[in-house]
Structure 1
Amino acid sequence: MPVYHSGFHSYVETEALNGALPKEQNSPQHPNLGLFAEQVNNSAFTAPRSENFKAWQYRIRPSVLHCSEPELITQHLIRDIHHKDSVLTPPTQMRWNAREITEEKVDVISSLVTMVYNSVAAVHLYAANSSMDKSYFYSADGDWLYVLEEGALRFKTEMGIIEASVGEIVVIPRGIRYQIELLEDVARGYICESQQAFYLPERGPIGANGLAEERHFLAPDASFENKEGDFSLYAKFQGQLWKMKIPYSPLDVVAWHGNLYPYKYNLKLFSPVNAVLKDHSDPSIFTVLSAPSLSKGTANIDFVIFPPRWVVAEGTFRPPYYHRNIMSEFMGLIQGQYDAKEEGFLKGCSSLHNPMSAHGPDMDVYTKASNEELKPVRYKDTLAFMFESKEPWQVTNFALNSVLRQKDYLTCWQSLETSFKEVVVEK
């Protein structure tokens, strides 16, 4: 079983072989065990210490040992701000069914389909039935946040091994090389690619506790492969997918130290806060991770979840209220039922509500919530999430025209009827 170190953006040092990690200089003239010293930076050298992410690796071979010129892979459905589709995004609500897993053998990377993107992020879906065998991958464009919806995965990374199950998330930093193995027959889920690193949100008046705790984020212990053979390294760079031939496994880091590494988090450990008397708290109270922007109070990406919880507020409308929002919301459902949509939004589905695109509960949920007796209720079987961005989401051609798109989504609100009664009040 993999070994983990706890902490979020904390400094970690780990070695797979005793003596591999130098104790004094980061880049000694003669690294221990005949290894190569190599630094990976995901921030400017002069970035503030709290935002300066680096890792020193002690490798069997340096990463410069590529064996071939990169080959451009043209047949793929990966998109982002650098690689766009020539379609326009209509200003309306959209929803998609879950992807079906094909009979053709596809791994996580070869199965990728981009649904939406903007200038700071992209959202991809994967639906795989095969492990990556002699291939590896990295993204030069951003950090990848994996949300597992079906099937457990093993992430074999330069920094070590992470195993994750449904209900957990895994974040792979920009540039880190890795391979994904399926631990079950099939795997499906969501990926948010962010150009900015993720941080824990400030708690403000919540205080010192609640939401996600640093100690529940787990980084892998050092683990390495020393294999030669005919391997392929795939890279996402400026929205395109490239392939390079390499004669060795790139997962040959014997020891490392730093605050740049992949990590996982179990969403069951999230400690939600909520209203305990009346009215409705904004969804920002459920933020797990945030990629901040330069605009104060807004984020490039907020990763928000709607987990199992008690709902106890009195004299109020409990489901998400009808609203229009300057932020852009891409949602998914990991398990159970989402409290604002009891029909149509099922496990593995996705929805999009762009800026000022009105949304809220359908007629059945509205009627139920307006008339039921408000006793404490335990939401047991539910886990939905949202990738919320300050930038509008641009849909891809696949998303706009796919058979997965529910063309009748708007009808879920059409049965809403007014009960307005005009009363003339005598003066």
Structure 2
Amino acid sequence: MLADGDPYRYQSGFGNHFSSEALEGALPAGQNTPQVCPYGLYAEQLSGTAFTVGRSGNQRSWLYRIRPSTMHGPVEPYSRGAHGLTGAFDARSSVATPAQIRWLPFPVPDEGSGVDFVDGMRTLGGAGDPALKNGMAVHIYAAAASMARRALSNADGDLLIVPQQGRLDIATEFGPLMVAPNEIVVIQRGMRFSVGLPDGPSRGYILEVFDGHFELPDLGPIGANGLANPRDFQTPTARYELTTTGDAWEIVSKYQGELFSARQDHSPFDVVAWHGNYAPFKYNLADFAVVGSVSFDHIDPSIFTVLTCKSAHPGTAVADFVIFPPRFEVQMHTFRPPYFHRNCMSEFMGLICGEYEAKKGGFQPGGASLHSTMAPHGPDAKTVEHAVSRALAPGRVADGTQAFMFESMFQLRLTPWAAEHTQRDRDYYKAWEAIPVTFDPARK
């Protein structure tokens, strides 16, 4: 039985201390753990950081639930057998390559296949070790069925999910979230969630960070405004599910890249009230306030950073989430597309919709590319030809398009599944073959 009311109500803000209750008075007054909680609930804390982290960085929430989350059966190896996830990125289990990599759109399973979000996840690559809380991973998902009485909890890190096709109706312990393409959702470490597919088969991308949490980037000389504004992030409000008969639920746990499961006879989404600053959230990419050059030269893509997970090294990140949204382009006397470059960071790009302004063909929605550390890359031959011959008047770029990038300080290794996938574009290097040599020492 679900609590009454509109399930999709949100609280706005990023990093706030929120409070929410589905029943009036369900939040205890004045303390977190009274001897008996209101309505006979049980208090449970979910900690996203160590207890002793300073107040400014400490993240935790208190959940007031019908049953403690300890009430489940024995934990066993994943009952459905083999899966497509890994947390191992060593030489024995993954592939290293400095080549430019591109994948055509990953296939979506047939509607009758029964493949849900858990079974539809596949690891493309990563670096580090979730057991040491160091590194990150990139996954894709391609699913055709809603998770039926199944919930997933990830002990390895935070998941930033980017839907490309089809909405995701996500039930969480904190309340429900409806997430559409051109929106993102972050489900943090340890939070139980279940993914429904209201539009049928769905596909998208996932960035996982093993160390730290996502935060808004520092604005520096940009000033107080611009990029992603805190008020545009949305966190769910409490909505509980009460089991009145013996429901059969499976709790799937991701731990060190492996999957495990446990059975229980009640819904995990039985939180009647909660408060704290550790909660899932979503963000609409259309709300991003773009900044850029209004004179000359192409500014570094860091100006398009939505969220960052900082590393211990100032100025570098475990991972940045960067977008390339519709905007005006006004630079004069300038090669306007992204310049050719080699980067000390790894760049994984995906395309939600449209045509990316620096690639005119093979980079397609639902596909991806990876330019690893110091791999040379840049606009393809068609883009170069247009860029050097066009009249430079102010105009729009990327209308109807949403490309994004997962950028990381780590060198990524590919899983064999990704390296050998039939959708890997083996001719990607040809994107630059037709760039003409126009050098003439007699012409300045």
TM-score by length of 2: 0.94
Per-residue CA deviation, residues 267-300 of structure 1 (Å, 9 max, x unaligned), is: 0000010000101100000000000000011010
C-alpha displacement of 1:50: 2.0
Name which of structure 1's ranges 96-105 and 416-425 shifts more when overlaid on structure 2. 416-425
Pairing of 1:307-318 with structure 2 (within 5 A): 307-318=325-336
Instruction: Give distance in 1, aligned partners of 2:251 and 2:353.
Output: 33
**Do residues 75 (structure 1) and 90 (structure 2) align?**
no
Q: How do residues 299-310 of structure 1 correspond to structure 2 at under 5 angstroms?
A: 299-310=317-328
- Give the corresponding residue for 1:57: 63
Q: Give the equivalent residue in structure 1 for 2:352.
A: 334
Closer/same/farther in 2, CA of residues 84 and 223 from structure 1, 3 Å limit: farther
Closer/same/farther in 2, CA of residues 83 and 394 from structure 1, 3 Å limit: closer
User: How many angstroms does 1:101 deviate by?
Assistant: 1.3
Inter-partner Cα distance in structure 2 for 1:305 and 1:12: 28
Say whether the 8 Å CA contact 2:86–2:257 is kept in structure 1.
yes
Q: Which amino acid aligns with 1:168?
A: E
Q: Alignment partner for residue 217 of structure 1, among 227, 230, 233?
A: 233
Match of 2:131 in 1: none
2:125 to 99, 116, 131: 116
From 372, 389, 411, give the equivalent of 1:392.
Answer: 411
Which residue does 1:297 correspond to in 2? Answer: 315
Deviation, structure 1 residue 247: 1.3
The sequence identity of aligned pairs, in percent, is 44
Q: Match for 1:273: what amino acid?
A: V
Report the Cα distance in structure 2 between the residues aligned to 1:349 and 1:370, rounded to whole angstroms: 28
* Structure 2: distance between partners of 1:27 and 1:411: 63
Tell me, in whole angstroms, the C-alpha distance in 2 between the residues paired with 1:203 and 1:347.
Answer: 30
- Counterpart CA distance in 2 for 1:58 and 1:88 is 45
Q: SS state of the match for residue 303, structure 1?
A: strand
Give me the whole-angstrom Cα distance separating, in 2, the residues matched to 1:224 and 1:424. 73
1:29 aligns to 2:35 (yes or no): yes
| Equivalent of 2:174 in 138, 147, 159 | 159
Query: 1:129-149: per-residue Cα shift (whole Å, max 9, x none)?
Result: 110111111100001111011
2:376 pairs with 1:376: no
Change (3 A) 1:81 1:71: closer
Question: Is the 1:82–1:238 contact (alpha carbons within 8 Å) kept by the matching residues of 2?
Answer: no
Paired with 2:403 and 2:148, the residues of 1 have a C-alpha distance of: 32
- CA shift at 1:81, angstroms? 3.7
Query: When the two structures are superposed, what TM-score results if normalisation uses the length of structure 1?
Result: 0.97
Task: Give the structure 2 partner of residue 413 of structure 1.
Answer: 432
Q: Secondary structure at the match of 2:269?
A: coil
How far is the alpha carbon of 1:160 from its aligned partner? 0.3
C-alpha offsets along residues 346-373 of structure 1, whole Å, 9 cap, x if unaligned? 1111000001100001111001101100
In structure 2, the partner of 1:241 is: 259
Opposite residue 234 of structure 1, the aligned amino acid is V
Partner of 1:41: 47
Distance 2:75 2:209 in 1: 27
Deviation per CA, 1:62-111, whole angstroms, max 9, x where unpaired? 01112123224540110224788624321110000111112222111110
What residue number does 2:116 align with? 107
**Partner residue in 1 for 2:3:** none
CA contact (8 A) 2:337 2:379 kept: yes
Separation in 1, partners of 2:21, 2:34: 16
CA separation of 1:83 and 1:253: change in aligned 2, threshold 3 A:
farther
Distance across 2 between alignment mates of 1:186 and 1:166: 13
Figure out how many residues of one structure are paired with residues of the other and give that number. 425
* 1:295-352 Cα distance to aligned partner (Å, 9 max, x none): 0110100000000000110000000000000000000001111011011001111000
Q: What displacement does 1:419 show?
A: 1.4
1:20 aligns with 2:26: yes
Task: Look up the SS of the partner of 1:50 in the other structure.
Answer: helix
Q: Which amino acid aligns with 1:173?
A: Q
CA deviation string 1:144-168 (max 9, x = no partner): 1110111011110000000111100
Cα distance 1:414–1:204, how it changes in 2: closer, same or farther (>3 A)?
same
Alignment-derived partner of residue 89 in structure 1 = 96
2:311 is equivalent to residue 281 of structure 1: no
In structure 2, stretches of 5+ residues that fail to align are: 1-5, 129-134
What is the CA RMSD across the aligned residues, in angstroms? 1.4
Q: CA, structure 1 residues 258+126, in 2 after alignment: closer, same or farther (shift >3 Å)?
A: same
Q: Name the CA distance, whole Å, in 2 between partners of 1:313 and 1:85.
A: 48
**C-alpha distance in 2 between matches for 1:423 and 1:49:** 65
- Cα separation, 2, equivalents of 1:287 and 1:374: 26
> 2 CA distance for matches of 1:327 and 1:373?
33
Structure 2 residue matching 1:57: 3-state secondary structure:
strand
Shift of 1:424: 10
Contact 2:84 2:119 in 1 (8 A): no
Counterpart Cα distance in 1 of 2:443 and 2:359: 37
- C-alpha distance 318-264 of structure 1, shift in aligned 2 (>3 A): same
Aligned match for 1:404, one of 398, 423, 435: 423
Are 1:190 and 2:205 counterparts? Answer: yes
Aligned partners of 1:84, 1:109: CA distance in 2, in Å? 26
For 1:357, the equivalent position in structure 2 comes to 375
Q: Report how far residue 245 of structure 1 moved.
A: 1.0
Against the structure 1 CA distance between its residues 167 and 85, is the aligned structure 2 distance closer, same or farther, given a 3 Å change threshold?
A: farther
What amino acid is aligned across from residue 192 of structure 1 in structure 2? L
Unaligned runs of 5+ in 1: none
> How many angstroms apart in 2 are the aligned matches of 1:387 and 1:46?
30
